[in-house]
Every structure is written in C-alpha cells, then in structure tokens.
C-alpha cells in the first residue's frame, strides 16, 4: 500500500495513508509534500474567478466551469488523497476527469470565440468537433486511470502524451484561424473583437510544454532526491506552468 503513495525521488514529507477528512484539511496548513500542490491550484481559482467575472458572457461560462473544475478538482485531490488508498484512487480519477472537463470547456470557447470552423471537417463542424472533443476527453480519463494500475514505470510519460491528444483536437479552431484568418468582415466590430492573438496561443503551448517537461523529467528532485520533498518539487512547477498556460489561453480568448 505504501508504494502507491510514494513518488519517485521524493523521500520525505509524506502524510500517513489513514488521514481523516479533518486531518487532510488541516494538512493544507502544514508543510507536507502535497501542501504546495494544493495551494498552487487552489489560490489561482480565486484569481481566475475574479478575471472571468470581469469579462463574463455566455458561453464563456462553459470555459470558466472547465477551468474551475480543473483547479478545484486538482487542489482537492491533492488535499484529500491521504485518507485511504481507495479515496486516493477516487481523488485522482476525479482529477483526471476535471482535466478532461477543462479540455471540453476550452473546445467550446475556441468554437464560439476563435473560429466556428474546426478546420478538419468544414461542413457541419459542430457535428464533429464538440463530440470529438468529448470523446477524446473520455479516452484521456480512461487511459490516465489505467496508468495507475498498469504501465506504472512510464506513467508520467503516458499521461503527458495522452493529454497531447485533446490539445491537438480542441486547438483545431485556433490552427484554422491562424491559417485562414477571421470569419468576420475585416474592420467590423466582430472582426476586431475576434482579432487573433497567436502570441498568446504559442505562449499557452510553451507553458504546457514546460509543464510536461517537469512532469516527465521529475526535475529538480531527480538531481537531489530528498532536497525538494516539501517545497519546489516538479509537481509544484507543473501546477504553476499549467496555470500560466491557462492565463495565456484566457487572454487569447
Ligand atoms: Zn497535480
């Protein structure tokens, strides 16, 4: 049972695997190796809510819900996973589900705000694009959950590659938009409002790439096992980079 709780190169700072709910909640205020993981997605939730409420309009709600799911699901999964092995598995299953919900929310936002043509199939894109985004999200959750039982040696690499798929599928409106330009009449208000911001998109991709490198390479704890047990291990940096990528995505939309 201990093995399931143990991260490679993280030697100490673990909570014992039989915490009650109250102990888990209290552990948010103690230095353990999950404290940073919890706060690095819990605090951005408030910051992000504030930014979205400023500019809110339907259907940006769906995007906001996706991001809120991701940040809340992730922070709670990190906080509560010390209750038992079963709770831990459920926590991370919900965490993957939350990431999948975020990819669907992003797809809807891209569809409405970036380009209504998904690019791959020009006719009736909504018949293919949104269902495809949902199907890919379900496949991601199943694959990531499987890596908790099988292929454990390469689990971080597999999870990272699996989430590359929704990135590619949901970004097709952005690719289409970058290649084909705006669907609106040049100079009109809609055209100005939907002016493409490729810089934000590439920055969004860059931060995702950096977060993937941290997740797979397990840096910096790989270089000095034990030194980054509580603060500064790869998963903290992974959280910070994913949040920066989401911020750039919000600016792009
Ligand atoms: Zn995490």
Q: How far is the CA of 177 from the centre of ligand 1 (A)?
A: 31
Q: How far is the CA of 42 from the centre of ligand 1 (A)?
A: 11
Q: How far is the CA of 59 from the centre of ligand 1 (A)?
A: 27
- Report the percent of the chain where pLDDT is more than 70: 85
Domains of the chain, by residue range, sit at: 17-192
- For the annotated binding site for Zn(2+), the residues are 78, 235, 239
- For the annotated binding site, the residues are 78, 235, 239
38-47, 52-61, 93-102: segment of lowest average pLDDT: 52-61
In this predicted model, what pLDDT tens digit does every residue of 69-128 receive, in sequence order? Answer: 999 999 999 999 888 888 888 888 888 999 899 998 988 888 877 776 554 445 565 567
CA distance linking residue 183 with residue 237, whole number of Å: 38
Which pTM value belongs to this model? 0.74
196 pLDDT band (50/70/90 cuts)? Answer: low
Is the Cα torsion angle 106, 240, 38, 85 positive or negative in sign?
Answer: positive
Q: How remote is the C-alpha of 73 from its chain's centroid?
A: 10
């Amino acid at each position: 049972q201990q093995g399931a709780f143990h991260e490679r190169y993280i030697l100490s700072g673990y909570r014992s695997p039989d915490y009650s709910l109250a102990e888990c909640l209290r552990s948010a205020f103690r230095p353990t190796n999950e404290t940073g993981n919890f706060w690095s997605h819990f605090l951005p939730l408030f910051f992000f809510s504030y930014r979205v409420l400023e500019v809110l309009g339907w259907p940006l709600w769906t995007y906001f819900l996706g991001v809120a799911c991701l940040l809340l699901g992730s922070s709670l999964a990190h906080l509560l996973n010390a209750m038992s092995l079963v709770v831990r598995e459920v926590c991370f299953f919900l965490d993957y589900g939350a990431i999948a919900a975020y990819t669907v929310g992003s797809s809807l936002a891209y569809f409405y705000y970036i380009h209504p043509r998904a690019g791959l199939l020009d006719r009736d894109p909504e018949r293919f694009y949104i269902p495809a985004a949902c199907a890919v999200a379900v496949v991601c959750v199943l694959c990531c959950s499987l890596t908790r039982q099988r292929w454990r040696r390469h689990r971080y690499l597999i999870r990272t590659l699996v989430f590359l798929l929704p990135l590619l599928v949901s970004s097709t409106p952005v690719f289409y938009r970058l290649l084909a330009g705006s669907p609106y009449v040049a100079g009109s208000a809609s055209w100005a409002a939907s002016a493409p911001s490729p810089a934000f998109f590439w920055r969004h991709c860059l931060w995702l790439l950096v977060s993937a490198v941290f997740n797979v390479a397990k840096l910096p704890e790989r270089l000095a096992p034990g030194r980054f047990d509580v603060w500064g291990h790869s998963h903290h940096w992974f959280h910070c980079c994913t949040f920066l990528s989401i911020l750039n995505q919000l600016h792009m939309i």
